[in-house]
Structure 1
Amino acid sequence: MDNDRSAATAPVGSRREFIRGCLAAGGAALATATTSRPAAARETYQRPPEALGLLYDATLCIGCKACVAACKRANDNPPEFSTVDKLWDTPLDTSGYTFNIIKMYRHGTMQTKDAEENGYAFMKTSCMHCADPSCVSACPVTAMTKDPTTGIVAYDAEACVGCRYCVVACPFGIPK
């Protein structure tokens, strides 16, 4: 029997040695790459000086949802119905057609506004237009953008490919 074997019939030991050699070379290359240049995080983006904002005071909110209707009107968004009669625009959460929503916190008898025990309160849920929005950085096709002047995070439905990376990246669960 011949001691010279082809690569196809090489013993298992030599394959293991080959893999070990590859791993060792890869580890050495990685060690060289990390020691030649220290890792550093980029600077956090800051809000532009002309950035816009929206003040919401939960202690003054009466839950009328006029802000929800005004936002829909300003963005030409259609109504969403959560009831059978379909008489009122009644979205239950933010969506592609409802950019902000007023939700109610309820506890017990709901006798006192802004009380934790037996109280109720209103809270606004909407895009926070973050200084460094993760939804924008996660979008591979720039369907999510941040205006450099106003700071507003915008969505372009024409550019979106539906990957939903923005949904996963947003800590507030706003993109839907």
Structure 2
Amino acid sequence: MKKLFFASITNPFLGNKGNYNTFGEEVGSYTDSVNSLAPTLSFLFNAIFTIMFLFGIVRIGYALITKTGQVMKFSTGILIWVPITVFFIRLFMIFVFTTDGKTVTLLASDIIQLLKSSGYYFSIGMILVGLVFNLFYKLIKHPEYGRWSKRLWGSSAILILLVTIMPFVLGGA
């Protein structure tokens, strides 16, 4: 008997009649099937990005010999972004393969708390830089410094407002 994904969710009005899996059991089976693919996906991503990095090294060698600016720009971009992408993909893989149904909510609330606290720190930094720009405005009377200080103070106020309100909106408070 083929089971539908939406039929596996328990209906609060009818109860769980029949032999359908609950939503938690379905998530667990999907998690197990994804976890079995971990070694293959890891090898595949490493192979693809290693080939891209080697291609970037060959292209930068070609660009240095022929002094072609466009090729140099392209190969430099590859050599910069491939390690950064590999780092973020590995970080993503760690999150995917180490979380289960119970820890996803904890992870989400931790991310919301991290964004909240870093938003407050960025806001304090924006206020301090705005004060420095205001000092430059007072010293040399350049109108651009006055505009930038006002923009930073306004952006800081908006950031404080968003950081204070959004956890309640997202349900993570």
Sort the TM-score into its range (normalised by shorter chain).
under 0.3
TM-score (norm 2): 0.23
**Which has more helix, going by share of residues?**
2
